Amino acid sequence: MIEMQVDGRTIEAKEGETILSALKRQGIHVPTLCYMEGLLPSGACRMCIVELEGAPNFVPACSYPVAAGMKIQTSSPRVLDARRTIVELLLSNHPDDCLYCTRSGKCDLQTLAQNMGIRQRLYRGKRIEQEKDVSGPIVRDPEKCILCGRCVRVCEEIQGVSAIDFVNRGSRAYIGTAFDQGLNVSACVNCGQCIVSCPTGALSERSYIDEVVAALADPKKIVVVQHAPSISVSLAEEFGIEPGQDVDGRMVAALRRIGFDRVFDTSFSADLTIMEEASELAQRIKEGGTLPMFTSCSPGWIKFMEQFYPEFIPNVSTCKSPQQMMGAVIKTYFAQREGMDPAQIVSVSIMPCTAKKFESSRPEMAPGHIPDVDYVLTTRELGKLLHMFGIDLMAMTPQTADTPFGERSTAGKIFGASGGVMEAAVRTAHFLLTGHDAAKLEVQPVRGMKGIKEVRTKIGDLELGAAVVSGLGNARKLLDEIRAGRKDLHFIEIMTCPGGCINGGGQPIGADINAARARMQALYKIDQNEDVRVSHRNPYITRLYEEFLGKPLGEKSHKLLHTHYNSRDVL
């Protein structure tokens, strides 16, 4: 540790770290726009400049290393004036439609302007004139881009997709796709990590709030909704509550209050996914099928695989995702049981993921041209919908979800965390291969935020080699190892977003890694405290097979709950 002076007081810093890192640890706030935790600094925005005694110019705190005896001013008049000028220059050609912008109130540029007391436009630059890209689930508005580069970096360095990049140089620079095509024909996998990293409204999800409100107002429609496992532990943040609070019952009550006819829990169809997926894994192991088997519930990963690693299509489970399985049984079993016309059912899902919007629109997910799921809302969109209807979430009296798709095991609930699918599948695969449940259900090595986790676990006479990956950049590393000949793994879970669905591209804006950890811990707390912890013990799953599906991997379940994938060209 070394000592340095900051704003007249002495602080300690670690040798080799940056000034910004040392300041953050001491609780000294310095504004940033381009900085991304965990990545090498780019120093592009210069918002984090500080005054260093002896240096002829300002230095960027994000990239300048500490040294013993440094004397730094973080908020001197010169520093404040320079930062203010940077923001004023960014605003010089920025649109003034804050009242209508999807990020109003959660925009970093807006916050900086307010904090610095900027109340008028001092500089006027030539406006950027580029059309919005509304070709896919992710909407790009180039006029609101401030060229911080965060979206480019998360797409390339974290996700390994590189669907967008800087085009041209200097004043002509902008961020675009290959050949300036729409995102829908680019390498984009619709994960939405660019949206949560963007500091302005340049990136957002395509919203279906208006369509859902119209459906709720139509007396001829039966509007049903399902909510993903991670929604109940993240939605409260949209109402100013600390991350990690489970509001499942209050959310169910709120959804009923605004007019949904049935409220179902996607954790139920996560249990259904496990019954099919674990059965498929057991069958592949017993009969010498293609191994390792990859999970198929993360649509961003599926598109990534179709584009970059199509040779692994035979390795991917044919199971639909829990969202699509729920949609399928709603418009078949549920419709028959309730005597409803499937065409009159509007199926809405609430997901932590923008790629789920893409998944619901895949032609494979619309048998007979009737989509399994009609509209997908993100966690953020649900927050807006509840605010629109004047709902105070925390004032709602908790209610339970509707049967038959409201009962779940905790194995289905932990799907929301990286490692949750693996853990749930191992619990049921153990039962299918040995005839009894494992003595210890927790699979601790696959828990946590680490990008690649591996475990060896005994199931009867078999030593199962399993891996859990979150973040597509990490997926590339493991897939390249397998492509090069690695053969010790039987089962691999891949989640598109770092940490899994709890950190999805549709989750609340402004959250950090600690918020994701809090959500994850909330899911594991639920798993620890409830009684039904394995998917095959969910009584409504058993009933669904007895009354309708027959058996896992049977003819009817295969027709409704399984699908296929195809290789895709990449621009």
Structure tokens at 112: 């900086």
CB 376 within 8 A of CB 356: yes
How many angstroms separate the CA atoms of 515 and 244, rounded? 7
CA 400 to chain centre: 25
Which residue among 277, 381, 423, 493 is the active-site one? Answer: 277
Secondary structure (3-state) at 26: coil
Helix (H) or strand (E) holding 491: strand 491-495
Which residue among 3, 53, 364, 463 is the active-site one? Answer: 364
How many angstroms separate the CA atoms of 1 and 10, rounded? 12
Secondary structure (3-state) at 228: coil
Which residue among 356, 357, 413, 453 is the active-site one? Answer: 356
Structure tokens at 553: 């991997």
Q: Reply yes or no on whether 297 is catalytic.
A: yes
What Rg, from alpha-carbon coordinates, does the chain have? 25
Q: Reply yes or no on whether 53 is catalytic.
A: no
DSSP label of 133: B
Secondary structure (3-state) at 562: strand
Q: Reply yes or no on whether 280 is catalytic.
A: yes
How many angstroms separate the CA atoms of 45 and 311, rounded? 41
Q: Reply yes or no on whether 356 is catalytic.
A: yes
Peptide bond into 404 cis (omega under 30): yes
Contacts 24+ apart (CB under 8 A), 435-444: 437/534, 441/533, 441/534, 443/419
Q: Reply yes or no on whether 171 is catalytic.
A: no
Which residue among 237, 306, 359, 493 is the active-site one? Answer: 359
How many angstroms separate the CA atoms of 349 and 271, rounded? 17
Structure tokens at 419: 């490692």
Burial class (CB in 10 A: 0-12, 13-18, 19+), 427: buried
Which residue among 317, 349, 360, 470 is the active-site one? Answer: 317
Which residue among 191, 360, 501, 535 is the active-site one? Answer: 501
For the beta carbon of residue 244, count every other beta carbon within 10 angstroms: 21
How many angstroms separate the CA atoms of 568 and 548, rounded? 35
Which residue among 194, 297, 319, 497 is the active-site one? Answer: 297
Which residue among 280, 306, 407, 423 is the active-site one? Answer: 280
How many angstroms separate the CA atoms of 293 and 301, rounded? 14
Q: Reply yes or no on whether 359 is catalytic.
A: yes
| Residue 354 identity (one-letter amino acid) | T
Q: Reply yes or no on whether 319 is catalytic.
A: no
Q: Reply yes or no on whether 211 is catalytic.
A: no
Q: Mind telling me the catalytic residues?
A: 277, 280, 297, 317, 356, 359, 364, 501
